Structure 1
Amino acid sequence: MFVKCSNHAPMPRHLNPVAPETARARGAQSCDTGRFERFGRELTHDGWDIPEEVSVLRTEVSDEAPRSLINYVRSPDLPFDRTINPYRGCEHGCIYCFARPTHAYLNLSPGLDFETRLVARPSAPEVLERELRAKRYACRPIAIGTNTDPYQPIERDRGIMRGVLKVLRDFRHPVGIVTKGALIERDIDILAEMASEGLVRVGLSVTTLDRDLARRMEPRAPSPQRRLAAIRNLAQAGIPVRLMVSPVVPALTDPEMEKIMETGAEAGADAASWIMLRLPREVSPLWQDWLETHYPDRAVRVMNRLREMHGGKDYDSRWHRRMRGEGQYADLIRHRFDIAARRLRLDRKTAPLRCDLFRPPPSPGDQLDLF
């Protein structure tokens, strides 16, 4: 086999699929070129009938030295205005991940490249410390995990997220963390210390309780039961945890909503939230490929429900509509969630993270105050 390049054009689904044994334990099954590329790539037979060994795709990690780490956002439908991403790409491989299109900015595929060709930022703690020491910096809560998961598998060896947490703890800076990774338990010592001062909240996503569905949809993320155990361990350590029922997938995971909320409340979550499945840009064809492969009997129904909520389109990116959609079905999900949240006492207003404690610690060689 070899790769043939052609003038880039809108890509139909399955333009560049890979052999199933190559993409074992991955979410995407294709490596379509990103939308900014001039040429497309297509696997083509080279004409030689010679058996070739097919190898499983391995995760590759390259390092990046960022000049800045804090990313400021101005989205009116988000409860935060700044984020941090220790990694680009995510090995969890969730097929529905709305962050996949960001890999196109690296001239990489939002498909398999997003989950196999990762970028780590080992100098993130040092860069963050420099930014927090800037005289013009005004403290507001930082969100981590809103794009790619800070507790994905490579964090076990890299420890970049732990380094970032240490800086935030030393500066007494508030942070909200979103993750599916049970590896967050490793950092309970830091998180518990910050939680005692009102400086941290954790959101842990549970999409389904069906282990088989989770393995197909989120192939390298911890099982739903393992995530519930992480909620329990964090809550027992005094760390406030929000159960995130997201994304809600019509006709696939939405029947589980109440049960997910019940098990999350039993595990110790003190709040809950939900987001509807989002299919921006390259995510839509990747999702539809996956759906037709694993659940062909429900593919049409799932997509019809999504289009009903987005004015006939796969996705509507308008503020205040992109997260939950509109229409009868969206209203039904919202109503079901509200009823369950009240019943389980997951609708309580949580205390805001504290910003008044922020203070840069002394640097080596600084003159100490006498009074």
Structure 2
Amino acid sequence: MDFTIQSFFMPEDFLKGRGAQKKVHNRFFKLNHEIRDDFLNFCIAEGEEADQNKSKYIDVYPKTFVNKVTSPDVGMQYSANPYQGCEHGCVYCYARNSHEYWGYGAGLDFERNILVKQNAPFLLEEQLKKRSWQPNTIVFSGNTDCYQPIERKLGITRKCLEVMLKWKHPTGIITKNALILRDLDILQEMAKLNIISVYLSITSLSEDTRRLLEPRTASIKQRLKTVEMLSEHNIPVRVMMAPIIPSLNSHEILPLVKKVVELGARDVSYTIVRLNGQIGEIFADWAKKTIPDRAERILNQIAECHGGNLNDSHWGRRIKGDGAIAMQVKNTMTIAKNKYLKTRNKESLDRSHYLAIKDPQMRLF
């Protein structure tokens, strides 16, 4: 079934340019007390009223930047996120719940209150300089997109990539923004050393779908062009169809894989949507406001993939789902990859350059 914008019901109070359509209560707050701001350098002036649909950028200065990932089914050991919260506004985003740890809500707060780690490049280099540090790949955007709109102005991600290139350290990037092309010069140098791998998130070939699901992301046309440009510059690029949402974009698996492989993607992976924490309420509210004619069917099919619930937290099962619908998605993706991906050589990133910098004796080998 085609997913067209003409089929949407747009309420008068619909917040254009936002994914979440409501604020949700922070589940860690039993009382509606004041949010601590002693880790911030910004606050609203007394008597000042902020525009409720404008983004606010708040400087934070954490003590660490590189995070160890303990989830065994995520596929990365370390992540680094220059920003917390994400203005892209993807309504299904699993990272929304992490904003509650900073004292905000997972709904509109996640999209409006963006925490900026100005000291990220310094903290990153301090980590790489440690004698005990081993060069396991650090993935930028393990939580929120490192190329979200404010990066165009601040350039924190670019500064971090300069540090990674300086130390010749294995690097991964996950993004859905064409802004990554700004840093082609750095990425090309990293590709020559085999220390970079880019994962571009493309959930649909329909701009109408993208506009409502991911309102402030790069257009589908831009993202496809990004795959092509990265490939033409010999930068390893893989596509993530994440998440697949039954009856919303699940019918696009075959044409999407075909298209991105034609443009040079080296592989395609996927996840089944899971609406963990507060995201179930946010997504259900969005669906009932934008696609009321199919909202219940979509929610029921998501639940069918997770044992009757909108979320499944069991490792090894939560990402791919379970049941007949999840199996159908898996089989379709397998057919698509067998049909369109002739070779799937996933080379490991090179750690030797970094080791040689830290220990000159390594250069003898």
158 and 361 in structure 1: CA distance in 2 versus 1, 3 angstrom threshold: farther
Alignment of 1:125 onto 2:121: yes
Structure 2 distance, partners of 1:246, 1:57, is: 27
Structure 1 distance, partners of 2:199, 2:68, is: 20
- List gaps (5 residues or longer) in structure 1: 1-17, 42-52, 363-368
Query: 1:76-118: per-residue Cα shift (whole Å, max 9, x none)?
Result: 1122211101000000000000000011111111111100100
Out of 6, 13, 18, which is 1:20 matched to?
A: 13
Structure 2 distance, partners of 1:32, 1:360, is: 50
Deviation for aligned residue 1:39: 3.2
Q: How does 1:194-213 map to 2 (within 5 A)?
A: 194-213=190-209
Query: 1:284-329: per-residue Cα shift (whole Å, max 9, x none)?
Result: 1000011111111111111111111211111111101110111111
Query: 1:114-169: per-residue Cα shift (whole Å, max 9, x none)?
Result: 00100011111111101111111111011111210000000000100000000000
Percent of residue pairs identical: 37
Deviation for aligned residue 1:40: 5.4
Out of 336, 340, 353, which is 1:340 matched to?
A: 336
Contact 1:89/1:118 (8 A) holds in 2: yes
RMSD across aligned C-alpha pairs, in angstroms? 2.0
Q: How does 1:140-151 map to 2 (within 5 A)?
A: 140-151=136-147
- Counterpart in 1 of 2:187? 191
Alignment of 1:269 onto 2:265: yes
115 and 77 in structure 1: CA distance in 2 versus 1, 3 angstrom threshold: same
What SS does structure 2 have at the residue aligned with 1:37?
Answer: coil
Larger proportion of helix = 2
Structure 2 distance, partners of 1:112, 1:190, is: 34
For the pair shown, the structure with the greater C-alpha radius of gyration is: 1
Q: What TM-score does the superposition give when structure 2 sets the normalisation length? A: 0.88
- Counterpart in 2 of 1:286? 282
- Counterpart in 1 of 2:219? 223
Deviation for aligned residue 1:356: 1.7
Query: 1:206-243: per-residue Cα shift (whole Å, max 9, x none)?
Result: 11111112111100001111100011111111101101
Give the aligned residue type for 1:20.
Answer: D
Deviation for aligned residue 1:24: 2.7
Deviation for aligned residue 1:355: 1.3
Structure 2 distance, partners of 1:225, 1:258, is: 18
What SS does structure 2 have at the residue aligned with 1:243?
Answer: strand
Contact 1:169/1:190 (8 A) holds in 2: yes
Q: RCO greater where, 1 or 2, for CA within 8 Å and sep 6 or more?
A: 2
Contact 2:135/2:355 (8 A) holds in 1: no
Alignment of 1:238 onto 2:231: no
Q: How does 1:1-371 map to 2 (within 5 A)?
A: 20=13, 23-39=15-31, 57-345=53-341, 348-359=344-355
- List gaps (5 residues or longer) in structure 2: 1-10, 34-48
Structure 2 distance, partners of 1:170, 1:228, is: 30
Instruction: Give the number of aligned pairs.
Output: 334
